[in-house]
Structure 1
Amino acid sequence: MSLDACAVIVARGDPDRFLATMAAPVAARELLLPLYAFNVEVARLPWVSPEPMICEMRLQWWRDLLTRIAAGTVPDTHEIAAPLAGVIGHNGAVAEVLDRLIVARQWDIYRDPFEDDAALHAYIDATAAGLTWAAANVLGAPEASEPAIRDAGWAAGLANYLRAVPELETHGRRPLVDGRPAAVSALAQAGLDRLARARKATIPAEAYPALLAGWRAKATLERAAKEPARVADGALHESEFARRGGLFLRSLRGTW
């Protein structure tokens, strides 16, 4: 299938990454959209059925697909399979990162809380930070930049996660290890610290389109750190003007 199918999936399921990708050069879009479409498809699977076994089987299907792609097969079993294979190619390292993302999404199937802060941090690392690193890597970022890129991706993932807390609770999940204000504030500050560390590091310009997807992270995390009650209230979102304006300014300046 064409890249258009990937664009439709991302636009519908991940509006922030879609907007950020549309602000990137065309060559970067062709690499990012299949990865982001893959992420949308995997992220929705834990919610498609009340039967955990069905969700587990569907996640396993994507793991098997990645194995086939890494082995050099171009499957035609899903509309994004061929574009994804075109991006990953024989890059087993990226395939492994995406496989860990799928495994982490198993948590979303069940209603059990995270065991501790380390488990929550590992979930965000495997999902958001992993996807950010995979995207930057296929754009040409060297392995030396992985820690900083993962820091940026982790901060962006935490911001997205905190914005999603009310909806997760509505679906019977327990997204936070400790929902008390001080703990929520500390969690948000951890994200800010990792973001600050990433911005002090030397990150190659070719990775910027991947990092641009987290343009809302700093503002969201600052709100959560300062007023943690806004997390449970679902009041972390900025205005649409501020959301789009922030992206526009960063894309104009060539920053993230």
Structure 2
Amino acid sequence: MSAAPDAIAACAGIVERGDPARFRAVMAAPVAARAVLFPIHAFTLEVARAPHVTKEPMIAEMRLQWWRDALEEIAEGQGPRRHEVVEPLAAAVGAEGAKALDAAVVARRGDIVGGEVVAADDLEEFLRGTAGVPLWVAARALGAPAEAEEALIAFGMAGGLARYFAAVPELASSGRAALPAGVDIPALARQARGRLAAGAPWRARLGRTTSAPMLEAWTAGPILRMAERDPDLVDRGGLALSPHRESWRLLRLAASSRWSARAVS
């Protein structure tokens, strides 16, 4: 079952408004991948937003539970809820994908407690749920084999860490979770760059369409290098590429049939 074009377009609109960098990455991917990528990205954006549209913790919990229930219904083979994201998501990921994506909702429960700084030990699980698992679910829906799971989850987590580092000033200014004091930013960045390098060979093994979810990490390598060299940039908000460099990097990675470890990390 495939989603109607207008349903995919609605998800694309959500992604374009909520995460322009990911929107550009999807538009640089093969057309065949977009019916999978746009619903998954729209889902992750809606789930990320759910705890922050209210100041009432109980209401925030109910909003996240709504998404867990929607995923459970897909996983159990029930007809998806009439919703602009749920219906195309069900068509894109199927039962097994819906089961896996529950981790993305659970990982956001920590966002309900405003101002609480995440513990270093929790960051790994947060990145796995919010970034690693969605990337893997997308790749799986596009035909990736089970043996690629951990490498692609790790690759997604590296991209997620780069995005998290870049968002730290905004998170801190809004009273939301930020990095705990004393965290070793260079070590985290170095570990994430290693994950990018380890996952790079899958680009050629999977082919452009199946590996299209990996394009979402297109800015991760340079951002992680900046964080490793000058960790103060994380708090200062200096982790950004120029528009020209962003465009050049995305075009180069999208056009390449294989990525070297150096190219992505």
Task: Flag whether TM exceeds 0.5 (same fold).
Answer: yes
Counterparts of 1:19 and 1:40, CA distance in 2:
15
Q: Deviations over 1:97-136 (max 9, x none)?
A: 2101100011112132223x22111110111011111111
Q: Which of 230, 249, 253 is matched with 1:250 structurally? A: 253
Counterparts of 2:177 and 2:135, CA distance in 1:
25
Conserved? CA contact 1:178–1:184, under 8 Å = no
Q: How does 1:7-46 map to 2 (within 5 A)?
A: 7-46=12-51
The alpha carbon displacement at 1:56 in A equals 0.8
- Aligned to 2:244, the other structure's residue is in SS state helix
**More moved, 69-78 vs 205-214:** 69-78
- 1:159 is aligned to 162
Counterparts of 2:182 and 2:53, CA distance in 1:
27
Counterparts of 1:120 and 1:80, CA distance in 2:
27
Distance 1:75 1:56, change over 3 A: same
Conserved? CA contact 1:70–1:88, under 8 Å = no
Q: How does 1:198-217 map to 2 (within 5 A)?
A: 198-200=199-201, 203-205=205-207, 206-217=209-220
Q: Deviations over 1:53-93 (max 9, x none)?
A: 1111000001001111122223343212211111123x32x
Unmatched runs of 5 consecutive residues or more in structure 2: 1-5, 260-265
Counterparts of 1:50 and 1:173, CA distance in 2:
12
Amino acid at match of 2:229: K
- 1:196 is aligned to 197
Amino acid at match of 2:186: S
- 1:134 is aligned to 137
Task: State whether structure 2 residue 89 is matched by structure 1 residue 84.
Answer: yes
For normalisation by structure 1, the TM-score amounts to 0.92
Identity %: 43
Q: How does 1:41-120 map to 2 (within 5 A)?
A: 41-89=46-94, 91-92=95-96, 94-110=97-113, 111-115=115-119, 117-120=120-123
Amino acid at match of 1:53: M
For normalisation by structure 2, the TM-score amounts to 0.89
Amino acid at match of 1:215: W
Unmatched runs of 5 consecutive residues or more in structure 1: none
Conserved? CA contact 1:148–1:203, under 8 Å = no
**More moved, 189-198 vs 214-223:** 189-198
Aligned residues: 251
Counterparts of 1:6 and 1:200, CA distance in 2:
30
